[in-house]
Amino acid sequence: MVIKNKTYHFLEGSGEMGQLIRAKDWSQTPLGHPDSWPESLQTMVSVMLNNPFGMYIAWGKEYTQLYNDGYRPILADNKHPQALGTGAKESFPEIWDIIEPMFDGVMEGNPIGFTDFMLPLNRNGKIEKCYFDFAYSPIKMSNGEVGGVLVTTIETTHKKKAEDALRENKNELEFVIDTAQLGTFDYNPATHKFSANTRLKTWFGLPTDEQIELNHALDVIVKEDKERVLKAITKVLKDSSGSFDIEYSILTSDSIKPSVVHAKGRAWFNEENVAYRLTGTLEDVTNRVWERKKIEESERLLRLMILQAPVAIAIMRGADYRVEIVNKLALEIWGRTEEQVLNKPIFEAMPELLSQGIKTFIDDVAKTGNRFSTPEMPVEFSIKGELQMVYINFSFEALYDSEGKINGIMAIGVDVTPQVEARKKVEESEQNIRALVNSAPFPIGVFAGEEMRITLANQSIMDAWGKGYDVVGKLYTEILPELGNQQIFDQIRKVLNTGIPFHAKNQRIEIELNGVLDVFYYNYNFTPLIDASGHVYAVMNTAADITGLHEAKQKVEESEKRFRDTVKQAPLGIVIFRGPEHVVEMANENYLQLINKKEDEFVGKPLFETLPEVKEVMAARIADLYKSGKSFYGYEFPISLNRYGTTETGYYNFVYHPLKENNTISGVMVVATEVTATVKAKHLIEENEEKLKLIIEASELGVYDVNLKSGKIVASKRCYEILGFPENTHLTHKDIINHLHPDDLIIRKKAFEKAYANGVLHYQSRVVWKDHSLHWIDAKGKMFYDEENQPHRLLGTVREITEERTFQQQLLEREEKFRLLADSMPQHVWTSDPEGNLNYFNQSVFDFSGLTPEQVIEEGWIQIVHPDDWEENLKQWTNAVRTGNDFLLEHRFRKHNGEYRWQLSRAIPQKDAEGNIKMWVGSSTDIQEQKMFTTELENMVQLRTNELEEKNLDLEKINKELQSFVYISSHDLQEPLRKIQTFSSRILETEYETLSINAKKYFNRMQKSAYRMQNLIQDLIAYSRTNVQELTFEAVDLSEIIEDLKETLSEEFEENNVTLKLHNICTIHAIPVQFKQIMHNLISNSIKFGKTGHPVVIEINCEKVAASSLAIGSLPDYQNFYHISYSDNGIGFEPDYNEKIFEVFQRLHSKDEYSGTGIGLAIVKRIVENHEGVILANGTLNEGAKFDIYLPAE
Amino acid sequence: MNFYKMENTKLHLLLADDDIDDCDFFKDAIDEISDIGELTILNNGVELMKFLVSDPEVHPNVIFLDLNMPKKSGMECISEIKASHALSHIPIIIYSTSLDHTVVNTLYELGAHHYIQKPAEFGSIKSVIRKVVALLGASTLQPRSRDNFIIQP
């Protein structure tokens, strides 16, 4: 049977639970009939039923449950409605072990709260993980005991699930970063924890599944870089404007070579400007850095090469030819130190060059790029203050940058001063010799060339010829035509041609003197003159009068010596040996050098005695030569010789030539030259060719050579492999064509047509192998033409590019995939080229706008945007494209039905490894709903703000009015009152005696009334003043205030025998004037309400207490408070009045019993509240009053 | 020439107050204190300023100035007097019913010498006047100071 509860106001409330609670027969529950419910429970139930949030009460020892509509879903249908009125343990057996201790704690006065607290609730027979924000607070009863637990709760299961989903999202993001080949990191400076993605951890050799200390990650950085990285991290965590951008090397324990990584990041700062996070990315740049180092190394090598070159080199740059590099030899020539010239304009460092025309040469080279060079240029350099002449062979070369512009000059020079000087000496001595020859006592003449031009003729020869003295420069044949039929000319020509000197003794010569032929007898010689290249350029004629035989003999000897010298001067090695022992008769310097022997070791000795190592090769050949009389030629003939302390094989070109005397071979002349270097170079070339062949074979390239006329193919093995004939080696052109993919035949045909026209063949096609697999090849070739300009030969390479082609194919497929993906997205997606021209829109753009792709491309995408947004849109987009910053804009797009909807558009530039923007990818998201909501919200906030402002103005006005009222009160009310007092004091002074006893009594009372009214007015003013916000809080020493008051109230203290006991006195934080007022009013009260006949004893104590230790409900939110306790031994008051006594005009006694206006304590309370403090009164009748003041300590 | 030398000549006091009762109390008090000197009473600010500028030779030794007066308030008067080169030397003692700290501070800033809250007891009126006379009778007038700005009866 259901007993309907009669109507209780606290059970009023809408909803299901209101009805159920009202309908419940509570007398059957531990709570009993609602009549008997404690007041606090009644209040709380009323609050609960009117609250939209989930609330739940567990009352009493049994934790009898009441709850509202908001809480009801938590219980689900399996617990509700049985839970109402039953104990919590019955309803929640599955979690009772968790919540019981909490409830017990609350019953002891300890509230508790949780966020996202998980409870495995049995809902509809199924255990579900549910998350709640909970607060369990005690419900206090009037006696101060805790009567029950109030649970306020919000279910956060959905929020929690959303967070989990977010975390999953983050994982997805990490996957994307991972595929982008980047390492990412996230460092928390507060905890020193360092987390990173898998890639980075792999690079760093870190465990993959945990956060680690930063130091552990830094261990991997190579020693040289570690400090630099640490510094960079410290810097970026201090400076909120800086960014983290650093390259360094890492070496993990299991890698051999260090890798170079490029880390980029930024720190995140909170409001206090303290960094709380450092995030960023890491890129492996080892290869890039390695390339860079290679370039640097090659530059360094070049520089080193220049510096160590055996010729003087200097490089100059810029318009003023600043010396950039100069090597030691150049410095030696210049007579300068490196400091004097390096990085200085050359003409500033060596001003002496300016007057020598050098600048003109350099300017010309810098302008035209034409090389300038000059031999034996005399240049004066200022060396130690003195000009010194130096002869240099030098050249200026223009240096070019990568764009072909001249960016410098290289000067190369060789100091040839010693040579030039030596030559000058030679020239000088030649002149001396010429003079000597001229004055020689025997005839000397030199006839140059086939024409026999006289280049030299001494006095003696001209005397002998008798043709005058103007002969030099004329032809021998013209001067002495009479010698033509005396074989003289032939003799000379023979000498010229053969190089073999001609001797004649006792020769009869007819010379025409004055038209008559005279006969002379001469011994004479025709000697060939050989120039440096071994060529006979002239014939020297010496002669002697036969009368002087001795003289003649001397001439012969001299001539022979000259011959030998000539032989010896020859550039070829020449040796002559005679006799069966091959005794060396003569060897020239070149030959001696060839065999590395000195003349005295070799000449005059048998050949094979000195050179035993050649006997084996040469003995037989020499013997043959003696037998046959035929010369023996050797070409690149290898001979082992003991030279320079070792036996080495040299290569020689030589002639063994028989020397005949009277038709018998008496000796051999050998003319030899060493060609070892040439032969070795040739061998090297052959070797290189061999190597090249090997390389081609080892490489992936196939090489082929086709004879186009015969169709014969010579091809490398690899070539056949690529074409799919690993077994075959000889194939015709036709065989190959048959294996080409039929679809590609046309490609090949066209390529060949082109090749016949321009000589270059290139095509890519597929070949079908025997196993029917398809392979891509890249064939290149060059045509060669015969004399009739017909192509007869094709030389080229074949490369397999199947893999490359596959990659390309995959790339195309991927792009197709992206397009499919983008088209299926509900968001608008678009891309743009780096210049900001939009070049792709996904399907969603067309669906939304109702436009065709052609319309968007032809008429521009801007037509989709609301015209009012055009200007801002174009401005932002241009700006983004120009700066490379992200594009972010809210604008409206026109839907196909004409409706405009708000979109949030965002575009991010895609950059390549060098940071150049390759494209922009943008998206636009419909934010119409959010935008509308935000606008409405903003309007509402604005409305509220306006209302508040109006209210504030009103309040200020009222406040001002109040102020003027107070002023008027203080002045105008006091004035008549004061006059009453003055007049009465006049009467008392002058007319007192004439007053009747009654009049005197009335008079006295009138004065008292006036006095009381004056006090009343003054107190009222004081009370109203405390309202004024004077926020000058200071440190106030309590004892000083009390000393001050003692003085002010000294009369009262004396009259009433007051004792002040100060215990712990501290310095507090208060408005001094106001706080003084508090103490004044309290002490005045204590004196006023002292027990008659008893001395007044006041005790004051002050201490600092923690807010948590205080059990005062209305305490404001501060951590610490000053607790000032004030007590006296006066008449006190009943505890019922503990609160009432603070009300204005509240008096507990009649005016006649105790004087006072009833405002004093109201002022005290108001001041305490001004300080955000609390004052509590605690009276005990006849035992005294106690006041506890709590003021915030901060 | 100055008729009112400090040492042995009688003083010339001036009271500017529109309240007849207060003027009477003040006059009675002066009369009862024997032999102080001459008292001029003016009933509003306009009269006061007229009096002060009419005869530059005859200036009071001290002005007792009420604040709440019709036509021209005490506050306006003190500003004008202190701004005038000829008058600024005359010491001014505020004589007012109220004692509002803000007002008191303002008056000190404006250059008032002392502040007296009109006493309720007639005897007290006499005693504050005696104190003022004693201060004026000293060989030189003490410079102003915030500490003894308010004269208590």
A275 pLDDT higher than 70: yes
Output the pLDDT for position A546: 66
User: Between chains, do A975 and B97 touch, taking CB under 8 Å as contact?
Assistant: yes
- pLDDT tens per residue, range A783-820: 888 877 888 888 888 888 888 788 777 777 777 777 77
User: Between chains, do B123 and A985 touch, taking CB under 8 Å as contact?
Assistant: yes
B102: contact with A, CB 8 A cutoff: no
User: Between chains, do A978 and B118 touch, taking CB under 8 Å as contact?
Assistant: yes
The minimum CA-CA distance between B60 and chain A, rounded to whole Å, is: 27
Percent of chain A beyond pLDDT 70?
A: 90
Output the pLDDT for position A566: 60
Chain B hits for A969, Cβ within 8 Å: none
Chain B hits for A982, Cβ within 8 Å: 21, 25, 119-122, 125
Determine the residue of chain B that is closest to A1073 in CA distance. B101
Question: What CA dihedral angle connects A973, A976, A979 and A981, to 10 degrees?
Answer: -60
The minimum CA-CA distance between A977 and chain B, rounded to whole Å, is: 8
- pLDDT tens per residue, range A624-672: 888 888 888 888 888 888 887 788 888 888 888 888 777 788 888 888 8
B118: contact with A, CB 8 A cutoff: yes
- Per-residue pLDDT, averaged over A676-698, amounts to 73
The region of weakest confidence among A337-346, A1139-1148, B90-99, B118-127 is A1139-1148
Cα distances (Å, whole numbers) of residue A1007 to A242, A977, A999, A1012: 81, 10, 12, 9
Output the pLDDT for position A564: 64
Output the pLDDT for position A786: 80
Output the pLDDT for position A188: 85
Helix (H, G, I), strand (E, B), or coil: what is residue A940? Answer: helix
- Per-residue pLDDT, averaged over A1133-1160, amounts to 75
Helix (H, G, I), strand (E, B), or coil: what is residue A293? Answer: helix
- Per-residue pLDDT, averaged over A961-979, amounts to 76
Residue-by-residue DSSP string for A791-839: EEEEEEEEEE-HHHHHHHHHHHHHHHHHHHHHHT-SSEEEEE-TTS-EE
The minimum CA-CA distance between A1058 and chain B, rounded to whole Å, is: 26
Query: Which site among B26, B117, B122 would you substitute to test the A interface, given the most A Cβ atoms closer than 10 Å to its Cβ?
Result: B122
- Helix (H) or strand (E) segment spanning residue A292: helix A286-308
User: Between chains, do B25 and A974 touch, taking CB under 8 Å as contact?
Assistant: no
User: Between chains, do B97 and A985 touch, taking CB under 8 Å as contact?
Assistant: no
A1008: contact with B, CB 8 A cutoff: no
- pLDDT tens per residue, range A925-939: 888 888 888 888 888
- Helix (H) or strand (E) segment spanning residue A1014: helix A997-1025
Output the pLDDT for position B26: 92
Q: Is-contact A407 A400, C-beta < 8 A?
A: yes
- Per-residue pLDDT, averaged over A1002-1029, amounts to 76
Q: Is-contact A839 A856, C-beta < 8 A?
A: no
What's chain B's length in residues? 153
pTM (predicted TM-score) = 0.32
User: Between chains, do A970 and B100 touch, taking CB under 8 Å as contact?
Assistant: yes
Cα distances (Å, whole numbers) of residue B22 to A1066, B25, B31: 48, 5, 14
Higher local confidence (pLDDT), A357 or A1156: A357
- pLDDT tens per residue, range B7-52: 446 788 999 998 888 999 999 899 888 777 888 999 888 889 999 8
Percent of chain A beyond pLDDT 90?
A: 5
B63 pLDDT higher than 90: yes
Burial of B5 (0-12, 13-18, 19+ CB in 10 A): exposed
Percent of chain B beyond pLDDT 90?
A: 25
Axis crossing angle, helix A1160-1170 with helix A997-1025, rounded to the nearest 10: 10
Chain A hits for B19, Cβ within 8 Å: 975
A974: contact with B, CB 8 A cutoff: yes
Output the pLDDT for position A559: 64
Structure tokens that stand for B133 in this block? 């006379």
User: Between chains, do A975 and B19 touch, taking CB under 8 Å as contact?
Assistant: yes
Chain A hits for B97, Cβ within 8 Å: 971, 974-975, 978
Output the pLDDT for position A436: 64
Chain A hits for B22, Cβ within 8 Å: 979
Averaging pLDDT over each range in A523-527, A678-682, A823-827, which range is the top one?
Answer: A523-527
Output the pLDDT for position A699: 63
Burial of B51 (0-12, 13-18, 19+ CB in 10 A): middle
The minimum CA-CA distance between B79 and chain A, rounded to whole Å, is: 21
Helix (H, G, I), strand (E, B), or coil: what is residue A735? Answer: helix
| Half-sphere CA count of A611, side-chain side, radius 13 A | 24
A1014: contact with B, CB 8 A cutoff: yes
Q: A535: which residues sit within 8 A by CB, 6+ positions away?
A: none
Please name which of B42, B112, B39, B104 lies closest in space to residue B71, comparing C-alpha atoms.
B42
Output the pLDDT for position A923: 86
User: Between chains, do A970 and B98 touch, taking CB under 8 Å as contact?
Assistant: yes
Output the pLDDT for position A877: 93
B125: contact with A, CB 8 A cutoff: yes
User: Between chains, do B97 and A974 touch, taking CB under 8 Å as contact?
Assistant: yes
- What is the band of B92 on the pLDDT scale with cuts at 50, 70, 90? very high
Query: Which site among B31, B121, B128, B152 would you substitute to test the A interface, given the most A Cβ atoms closer than 10 Å to its Cβ?
Result: B121
A967: contact with B, CB 8 A cutoff: yes
Q: What integer best gives the mean pLDDT of chain A?
A: 82
Output the pLDDT for position B7: 45
Averaging pLDDT over each range in A15-24, A123-132, A412-421, B73-82, which range is the top one?
Answer: B73-82
A986 pLDDT higher than 50: yes
- A398 φ/ψ sector (left φ>0, alpha ψ -120 to 50, else beta): beta
- What is the band of A400 on the pLDDT scale with cuts at 50, 70, 90? confident
Determine the residue of chain A that is closest to B25 in CA distance. A982
A1030 pLDDT higher than 60: no
Output the pLDDT for position B77: 92
A1194 pLDDT higher than 60: yes
Higher local confidence (pLDDT), B124 or A118: B124
Chain A hits for B96, Cβ within 8 Å: 971
**Angstrom distance (rounded) from CA A537 to CA A528:** 7
- What is the band of A897 on the pLDDT scale with cuts at 50, 70, 90? very high
- Per-residue pLDDT, averaged over A771-776, amounts to 86
- pLDDT tens per residue, range A45-68: 888 888 877 888 999 888 898 888
B70: contact with A, CB 8 A cutoff: no
The letter for the amino acid at A769 is W
Q: A1088: which residues sit within 8 A by CB, 6+ positions away?
A: A1154, A1155, A1156
- pLDDT tens per residue, range A223-243: 888 888 888 888 888 877 777
- pLDDT tens per residue, range A860-872: 888 899 999 999 9
Q: A447: which residues sit within 8 A by CB, 6+ positions away?
A: A453, A454, A455, A476, A492, A538, A539, A540, A541
Quote the ipTM score. 0.79
Nearest to A982 among B25, B96, B100 (CB): B25
Query: Which site among A964, A967, A968, A971 would you substitute to test the B interface, given the most B Cβ atoms closer than 10 Å to its Cβ?
Result: A971
Chain B hits for A975, Cβ within 8 Å: 19, 97
Please name which of A1024, A1079, A1027, A1087 lies closest in space to residue A1052, comparing C-alpha atoms.
A1087
* Dihedral sign (CA A845, A848, A853, A855): negative
A1104 pLDDT higher than 60: yes
